[in-house]
Structure 1
Amino acid sequence: MSKAARGFLQTLTADQKAEVVHSLSDSLRFDWHFVPRDRAGLNLKRMTQPQRKAAMKMIEVVMSDQGFQQVEQIIDLEHVLRVLESRPPNDTRRDPENYAFLIFGDPASKNPWGWRVEGHHISLHFTIIDGHVSFTPGFLGSNPGHVLIDVPQKGVRVQGKEEDLGFQLLASFTEDQKKKIVLGAKSPYEIFSLNKRQVEGMDKLEGLAMKDMTPPQQELFKQLLTLYLNRYHITLKNQQMAQLEKAGLGNLHFAWIGNTTLKMGKNEGHYYRIQGPTLLIEFDNTQNDANHIHTVVRDLTDDFGEDLLKLHYEKAHQPKK
């Protein structure tokens, strides 16, 4: 990751570096969102081809093949939105080139540093502290969730597996189990964690714990969980799994709100989440007649690497023996 970041910086001019590089303590690091907006940093539109290649390499290094493909497909959906909304080719609201890169700190040093790539429906954050990588928040969305119009991308469901497996897991539960799992009939308009620096108001574990599921249900639940972690490089996935196992996989809960039957092309809003002491995963498909998906992975103990950074700085200021 450090090599890829340094390689990207080497392609930039002095003025571009001034836009891209900020202090790790800069509050800009926590100013994140997944909606179309003007973004700090250097976006793809203002990069040369070698710079774009080096920027995308940064993403490729930290994601799995599956995750990197999703990122590319989400960017490509901006072309679909231009057609859906009858926007001109030079439109800047639905813009496949408005994905911006920021680096916080110095990737060539041994000090903590981090970086972010962000644009419509993509907000990926990585913080490196003493060899440990925090890779949350990690937001990926897709609009349309299912491309139905006559374009080259017709039929694409970037997050179809996340949706289908969620419904498959829900269908495996008995009616008594669903009484615990289904929290309401109307899906929320948006994920509950939103774009906040820290997850708030979600301290209560709701739904059904994995330890209370049957073995086949637990297997489906694990498949859904790992589908989200498989977006990332295997080292990062294994790091998160080790943390979850330490906290107790059985303590992870599954909860659902909204429509409980998948009806392709004429769906109704639905939402689910996986939540435990250390992890929150949210899936929401409510907007645009339930054809607009938002998903996020949050680390409830170490988003943005904040807890690890605190520990790092506390150790740095301890008196030497």
Structure 2
Amino acid sequence: MLPLPRNSVSPRPFRRPRRAALTVATAALVAAVLSTSDAGLGSVARTDTDTTTVAYSAEATAASETLAAVNAFLATLSSTQQSTVQASRTQSNLSQWSNLPDGLFTRAGLRMDTLTSTQRAAVLAILQAALSDEGYEQVVGITTADGVLHTSTGSDDYGSDHYWIRILGTPSSTGRWTVQYGGHHLAVNITLTGDTMTLAPTLFGVQPATYTLNGVSYEPLAGETDKAFAVVQSLDSTQLAAAVLDTAVTEIILGAGQDGKTLAYEGVQASTFTTAQRTLLLDLVAEWISPLNDEQAASKLESAEANLGSTYFAWSGSTSSDQPIYYRVQSPDFTIEFAHQRNMGGTSHIHAIYRETGNDYGAGD
């Protein structure tokens, strides 16, 4: 993640390493490159051994690298596959994503386990170009968890390679187009408008929330969890009373199928926060913005800091760490929601969403 601007007037948050989940994810999963079996984890980590690569350079922008990666991927496909993976950029197509497992939702595009190793490597190169290292590793952690879920349940509704790639609109350096990558508990919407990029809306979920492979513990949404507890536990009694929602909330509201909807501001306004509390809240917000590549995330982080006083933090559930909770962060720029699925595994099953006000799918760019 890029540091916040040097001319920032409020203290900048620092990022402590995630739990072993993401800081070691690449090293731990590199042996699984291009494997399609759940035993091999299907999803892979960033590596130089992929059979399809995109040249990365300091001079190239993230947008141009993403465009090059998409074109490289399309060049690996047959004409039938190209027809399957590409579609017009209509609202109906943009909205065709879900956190539901395979058996409960029909997705479009090409699924990873139907592709050759070269084609799968090309898909991953797209994600590597568009996302930060942290964001890419987070996607790896989420998809790997679905392989763990398959192993524990035996259900073919889950799998680390049960994720779809779809391209909406015509990839170009000037127009607006979207790359969608998702499946159970993941929907990444990468929209490019010229050199501008956004991930809104993106749904991050995970089940199980924590797991161990080869002696290494993984927790893909550790930061989004721990930093929220840090914020709520820093509040005084008056602030906490304002933050806690009047009605219990146990699921994200602006998830799949909710495009175009908004929520009224609720909770405690950050204008009442101390300097230390603002730092904690900004660190939490950065956790949600930093999956986008550093170049594009920088301006979003700067705007988040500039609008921090107009940002609201809302809470439902216990304030004790490791308890099922729901929280929401609302800024003039974005809405964040996070919810433990309390009737489906306590804290081991998470749904979360990041949306940008007026700019989902790059509508405002």
Q: Same fold (TM over 0.5)?
A: yes
Unaligned runs of 5+ in 1: 309-321
1:23 paired residue number: 88
| Aligned counterpart for 2:287 among listed residues 207, 218, 227 | 227
Unaligned runs of 5+ in 2: 1-65
Does the 8 A contact of 1:146 with 1:157 survive in 2?
yes
Note closer, same or farther for the CA distance 1:303–1:108 as it changes in structure 2 (3 Å cut): closer
Report the AA paired with residue 169 of structure 1.
Answer: V
**Farther off after superposition, 176-185 or 192-201:** 192-201
1:104 paired residue number: 168
C-alpha distance in structure 2 between counterparts of 1:216 and 1:262, whole Å: 19
Partner of 1:289, secondary structure, is coil
Does the 8 A contact of 2:207 with 2:350 survive in 1?
yes
Correspondence list, 1:1-321, <5 A: 1-25=66-90, 27-37=92-102, 38-85=106-153, 87=154, 91-108=155-172, 110-147=174-211, 152=214, 155-184=217-246, 186-188=248-250, 190-202=251-263, 204-244=264-304, 248-263=307-322, 267=323, 269-287=324-342, 288-308=345-365
Report the AA paired with residue 92 of structure 1.
Answer: D
C-alpha distance in structure 1 between counterparts of 2:214 and 2:257, whole Å: 36
Does the 8 A contact of 2:252 with 2:351 survive in 1?
yes
Q: Identity across aligned pairs (percent)? A: 26
C-alpha distance in structure 2 between counterparts of 1:174 and 1:244, whole Å: 23
C-alpha distance in structure 2 between counterparts of 1:207 and 1:13, whole Å: 52
TM-score (norm 1): 0.86
**Farther off after superposition, 75-84 or 11-20:** 75-84
TM superposition shift of 1:241: 2.6
C-alpha distance in structure 2 between counterparts of 1:235 and 1:68, whole Å: 15
C-alpha distance in structure 2 between counterparts of 1:260 and 1:145, whole Å: 19
C-alpha distance in structure 1 between counterparts of 2:109 and 2:279, whole Å: 42
Partner of 1:124, secondary structure, is strand
TM superposition shift of 1:213: 0.1
Partner of 1:123, secondary structure, is strand
Note closer, same or farther for the CA distance 1:115–1:253 as it changes in structure 2 (3 Å cut): same
C-alpha distance in structure 1 between counterparts of 2:252 and 2:91, whole Å: 26
Note closer, same or farther for the CA distance 1:201–1:280 as it changes in structure 2 (3 Å cut): closer
Partner of 1:183, secondary structure, is coil
Partner of 2:327, secondary structure, is strand
Does the 8 A contact of 1:169 with 1:220 survive in 2?
yes
Does the 8 A contact of 1:187 with 1:259 survive in 2?
no
Partner of 1:52, secondary structure, is helix
C-alpha distance in structure 2 between counterparts of 1:155 and 1:256, whole Å: 28
Report the AA paired with residue 196 of structure 1.
Answer: G
Output the aligned Cα RMSD.
2.0
Does the 8 A contact of 1:184 with 1:258 survive in 2?
no
C-alpha distance in structure 1 between counterparts of 2:90 and 2:315, whole Å: 37
Note closer, same or farther for the CA distance 1:184–1:260 as it changes in structure 2 (3 Å cut): farther
Note closer, same or farther for the CA distance 1:127–1:201 as it changes in structure 2 (3 Å cut): closer
